[in-house]
Amino acid sequence: MRTLKMVFLVVLLVAVVGLAGFGKKYTIGFCPGIVTNPFYIAMQHGATQAANELGIELIWQGGQNWDFSEQTVILNALIARGVDALILSPTDAEAIKIPLQEAVDAGIAVITVDTDINDPDSEIRLTNIASDNVLGAFMAGEALAEAIGYEGEVALMGAMVGVTTNEMRYEGFRAAIAQYPNIEIVATEYSGEDQAKAAQQMQSVLLAHPNLVGAFAVDTPTAHGCAVGVRNEGAQGKVVLVGFDAQPLQVEDLQEGLITMLVAQAPYAMGYVGVQLAYDHLQGFLPEFPGNFTTGFYVITADNVNDPETQKWVYLTEAP
C-alpha cells in the first residue's frame, strides 16, 4: 500500500507541474530479455506510452534470443551512448552485474524489470519492477489443487534453471502443493523454453504416470508445448493444465480446451512504471525506492476469456 501511495503522489506531482516541462530531455535505454516475445512487446507498449507522455527519448533494444552475450553487447552500446537511465530484464542474474556496475560508475541509473540480479540489496539497481512470481505460481498451484479436488498426481513442467523468475515460480508452486497431503508432484521437467522439447516431456510424463491429473507449466513456450503433448496423448479433458502468462498462442490453447487456465502478468504496467520511475528519479522526485515494485495477476479461464476486461491482460504481438 505504501508503494502504491508513493507512485500515486509522484503521478500527481508530475501532472501538476507538467509532464515534459522540466527543461532537459532525458534518454532512457530499455533492454528487454528478448524483443520477439509478446510479453516484452506488451512491455514495450507500456514503456512507449510513458515515454510519449513524459517527453522522453526511449531507445528500445534487445536481443533476438534470451542470451547474455547478445544483451551485453547492447548494454555496452547504451552505456557508451551515455543514456540517462537504463531499464533491463537481466538474462543472467549474476554475470549481468558486471556491465551494470559499469553503468552505475558512469552515472547511469539502473532499474530492472521482470527478471532481477542476484544480490538485489546491492546498490547496482534502484528497484525491480516485476510480478511477485512466488505469489503468482502459488495462485496457480492453488487453482490446480482446487480443480483436481485436492488429490492426485501432478507434474511441474519447468523451463530454465537459474533464471530468477523461473526459480521463484517453482518455489511458489511447490509451496502451494505442499499444503495438500493427498497431492503429489510425481515429475519435474525443464524444457529450456523449447516448445518441441516441452511437448515430448509432457507426453513422456503422461505415459510414465497414467494417473496424472494435473500439471503446471511455468512459461509460454513450456505451456504451449505441454498443450501439444496433452493433445498428442489424447489427454484433453483428463489433465488440468495450468499455464503462466497469457500470450495469444496460450489463449488459443485455452479456447481449444488444451489449457484449463492461465495466470496472466501485467507486462504493459511493468514497462510504463519502469519509465516513469526512471524519470521521477532523474527529476529528483524519488530519492529513495522500494526494493521491489510488484504488479498484479489475472486468472483467465474458459468462462471469462472473451470478456473485455480479460482481453486487457492478453499480451500483444505487434510493436508500437
CATH code for the domain in which residue 171 is found:
3.40.50.2300
Q: Are residues 6 and 67 in the same domain?
A: yes
Q: Are residues 204 and 153 in the same domain?
A: yes
Q: Please report, for residues 28, 235, 241, 242, 269, the alpha-carbon distance to residue 222 in angstroms, rounded to integers and kept in the order given.
A: 32, 17, 11, 11, 24
Mean pLDDT over each residue of the chain, to the nearest integer: 91
The tens digit of pLDDT for each residue in 67-101 reads 999 999 999 999 999 999 999 999 998 999 999 99
Consecutive H or E run containing 308 = helix 308-311
The tens digit of pLDDT for each residue in 181-236 reads 999 999 999 999 899 999 999 999 999 999 999 999 999 999 999 999 999 999 99
The tens digit of pLDDT for each residue in 279-306 reads 999 999 988 888 889 999 999 999 999 9
Q: Are residues 72 and 165 in the same domain?
A: no
Q: Are residues 34 and 114 in the same domain?
A: yes
Q: Are residues 259 and 271 in the same domain?
A: no
Q: Are residues 163 and 206 in the same domain?
A: yes
pLDDT at 20 exceeding the cut of 50: no
Cα separation, 276 vs 160, in Å, equals 30
Taking the whole predicted model, whether its pTM rises above 0.85 is answered as: no
pLDDT, average across residues 26-32? 98
- CA angle in degrees (0–180, nearest 5) for 44-271-51: 75
Looking at 18-132, list the stretches that DSSP marks H as alpha helix, in order from N- to C-terminal side. Answer: 38-54, 68-81, 97-105
Work out how many domains the chain is built from and give that number.
2
